[in-house]
């Protein structure tokens, strides 16, 4: 109980600092720090602001890499070319730096660049999405569905009021038409439904307990035979905390 209270206080401080800086969303490293505090696994990563940072990061983070821009003005990085995957060495990373900067200058010239995030590229698995939403009238809710771009195409999602328990999380999974993708489809291995259920519960707790968060999304959360990994995270703020 004491540990949970400390985690909540640290999260509130993170949100307070972001809103005090005039930001409407957490930066990706902050969003992933929030998930890590709730023990949702994220890829190993390093924050890059200088060339020296890259040299140090290459000793700590293993290839293949993903390079992502960090900007308070860019919420959907992939839409403007702010993400490059499959990088294997320093030369490729430096080339990716230039590519990202060029695309941002073309598509979002006024966007501020606070740095870059170099991450270990997560292995392939089943991609799902977990989202949270705070509504002034209906309260907090959590959403679950198949992730990646498929969620926009298939609209195969389920909803519950937050917070919820693990039994309700399992019920959300079973509501999906694509549920067989999780249990083993045409010879594929079943995923770790236990860890997936825990992740859904934790997101429901975050959105219910942290009033400074308006909405949040993990897309994709990659689910494996053993464990899960939050590859991309977005947290939009209400503008303050009580």
Which tens digits make up the pLDDT trace of 63-92?
999 999 999 998 889 888 999 999 999 999
Sequence spans of domains, the chain: 1-42+122-242, 44-121
Query: What is the CATH number assigned to the segment(s) 1-42+122-242?
Result: 3.30.470.20
Q: How would you classify the pairing of strands 115-120 and 65-70?
A: antiparallel
Residue-wise pLDDT tens digits, 177-225? 889 989 988 778 899 999 999 999 999 999 999 999 999 999 999 999 9
Contacts by 45-53 with C-beta closer than 8 Å and gap 24+?
A: 45/117, 45/118, 45/119, 45/120, 46/117, 46/118, 47/115, 47/116, 47/117, 48/115, 48/116, 48/117, 48/118, 49/114, 49/115, 49/116
Domains 1-42+122-242 and 44-121 fall in the same CATH topology: no
Count of residues making up the chain? 242
CATH fold group of domain 44-121? Dna Ligase; domain 1 (3.30.1490)
Lowest mean pLDDT among 118-127, 146-155, 181-190: 146-155
As a whole number of angstroms, the longest Cα–Cα distance in the chain is 52
Overall average pLDDT of the 112-116 stretch = 93
């Amino acid at each position: 109980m004491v540990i949970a209270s400390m985690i909540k206080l640290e999260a509130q401080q993170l949100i307070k600092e972001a809103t005090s800086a005039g930001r409407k969303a957490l930066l990706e490293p902050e969003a992933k720090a929030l998930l890590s505090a709730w023990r949702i696994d994220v890829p190993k990563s390093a924050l890059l602001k200088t060339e020296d940072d890259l040299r140090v990061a290459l000793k700590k983070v293993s290839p293949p890499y993903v390079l992502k821009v960090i900007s308070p003005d860019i919420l959907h990085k992939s839409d403007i070319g702010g993400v490059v995957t499959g990088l294997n060495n320093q030369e490729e990373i430096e080339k990716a730096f230039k590519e990202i900067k060029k695309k941002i200058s073309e598509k979002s010239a006024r966007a501020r660049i606070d740095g870059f995030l170099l991450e270990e590229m997560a292995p392939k698995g089943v991609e799902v999405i977990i989202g949270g939403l705070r509504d002034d009238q209906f309260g907090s809710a959590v959403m679950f569905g198949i992730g990646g771009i498929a969620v926009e195409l298939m609209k195969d999602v389920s909803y519950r009021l937050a917070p919820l328990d693990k039994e309700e999380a399992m019920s959300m999974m079973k509501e999906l038409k694509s549920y067989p993708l999780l249990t083993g489809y045409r010879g594929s291995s079943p995923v770790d439904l236990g860890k997936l259920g825990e992740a859904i519960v934790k997101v429901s707790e975050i959105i219910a307990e942290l009033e400074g968060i308006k909405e949040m999304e993990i897309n994709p959360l990659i689910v494996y035979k053993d464990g899960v990994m939050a590859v991309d995270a977005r947290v939009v703020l209400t503008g303050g905390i009580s």
